[in-house]
A = this chain, B = another copy of it.
């Protein structure tokens, strides 16, 4: 995941607080680290740290940053340890001055690129793709000191997912890889241009949505002017990550013209149509099952109840050393409203089944509360193949669906039935065809043979 946010103020006003609020609105895309870099056309200052946005930035830290060009990043750790060196933006000194880069996505061939750079004597202090991109960029600038063509040349070498924000001199550059795996959009008010992973952050800083950055588009802001370029490898065949709609993005965001909320409601309706059952009650597993369930109830005419109550105060400081206490954890997070489940046939709706452990505990909880039958419906198709574009691999591999039939899963987690959304249903719900469905189909939009080879 990860989220990025950037601002270029024509009026040369200090934009650091607005970047901070933008990151706050993107907090759901990454909770493990955050950083802001701001430039004034000459110098770039930055501050990064581990934790949530308000934990990383104190008023004092924000006051030390000043400039009219800024980019920020919230980090969700996929690969690379959770250490401060892996937080972004990545800021370097070069013979072309300081450069700051914030990246959302995963570069498929970053190991190869890194190995090549290392063979040429380059060294690395982090395990971020941003550092690889920075090194490639500086090499291109040495050949031709034009930032536009240098970035173009770099993107020719990159295979994978990259929505990027870059500060260079008095320039802010935003770009989205040719496949448009990850979202990126533009906002505008009288004084500045804004870039955000999701449109909800534009709403929140009170800025009008201008347009999505197109797959393969590079937008350059310099001297109060916005210019747009087409990346060399972009052939118009986008394949945007379907999980942005299903799970990652906030429901109040609109990605490439499609409302995330609408998609999720559609999913619920289609799920009900595809897998009918005559339950007495439909209830979400909060929070991600909520909008699915509301679509489901609309289609299936089963009464909707939020029968599992979530504790809103569970944070990361939770202490759970013993086994007995770990068993407490699910209950602390979720507790059933018993009379809603007693003697009922219940359909629970969730976004996915990971290892099956948590689903099993929830179903047991529902049965203990008196449910006669418990049917589990999942708002996304079975995941069968790894993702190389930015979703946590560890998780994907362990997904129970990759090796078991629905019936086996049912038995394993103690449900009366389990059903997933179909791939066609998903595509219908989103309403666009240019999606990356690699994890559902095994068909990858870019060459990932190196990845599969590596694993052997």
Please report A residues at the B interface, Cβ cutoff 8 Å. Answer: 17, 20-21, 24-25, 27-28, 31, 52-55, 57-59, 62, 84, 90-95, 99, 115, 118-125, 127, 134-135, 138-139, 142, 200, 203-206, 250-252, 254, 259, 261-262, 265, 287, 290-291, 294, 298, 303-306, 309, 311-315, 317-319, 321, 325, 328, 331-332, 335-340
Contact = CB atoms under 8 A, between A and B. Distances in A.
A125 B125 contact: yes
30 contacts: A21-B328, A21-B332, A24-B311, A27-B311, A31-B313, A59-B321, A91-B125, A92-B124, A93-B124, A94-B118, A94-B124, A95-B118, A95-B119, A121-B139, A123-B138, A203-B335, A203-B336, A204-B331, A206-B331, A251-B309, A252-B309, A252-B335, A252-B338, A254-B338, A259-B338, A261-B339, A261-B340, A287-B312, A304-B304, A312-B312
Given A58-B319, A123-B134, 14 more contacts: A21-B328, A24-B313, A25-B335, A28-B311, A54-B315, A54-B318, A54-B319, A93-B118, A94-B118, A121-B142, A252-B338, A261-B337, A298-B303, A304-B304
State the copy count for this chain. 4
Given A203-B335, A332-B25, A319 B59 contact: yes
Contact of A250 (B31, B135, B290, B309): B309
A17 B321 CA distance: 11
B93 A115 contact: no
A338 to B, nearest CB: 8
A62 B259 CA distance: 47
Given A311-B24, A328-B204, A332-B204, A317 B55 contact: yes
A264 to B, nearest CB: 10
A317 B54 contact: yes
A157 B183 CA distance: 48
A183 to B, nearest CB: 16
Contacts of A304: 294, 304
A72 to B, nearest CB: 15
A123 B92 contact: yes
A450 B321 CA distance: 48
A314 B312 CA distance: 11
B313 A28 contact: yes
Contacts of A287: 312
A52 B315 contact: yes
Contacts of A31: 313
A200 B335 contact: yes
Contacts of A134: 123
Nearest to A365: B203
A27 B332 CA distance: 11
A306 B261 CA distance: 9
Contact of A84 (B17, B84, B309): B84
B291 A339 contact: no
Contacts of A262: 339
Given A21-B332, A331-B203, A340-B261, A119 B142 contact: yes
Contacts of A305: 261, 265, 294
A369 to B, nearest CB: 9
Given A21-B332, A335-B204, A340-B261, A294 B306 contact: yes
B125 A122 contact: no
A449 B46 CA distance: 34
Given A252-B335, A290-B306, A294-B304, A121 B138 contact: yes
Contacts of A91: 125
Nearest to A209: B338
Contacts of A203: 331, 335-336
A20 B336 CA distance: 20
B337 A259 contact: yes
Nearest to A84: B84
A17 B93 CA distance: 35
Nearest to A17: B325
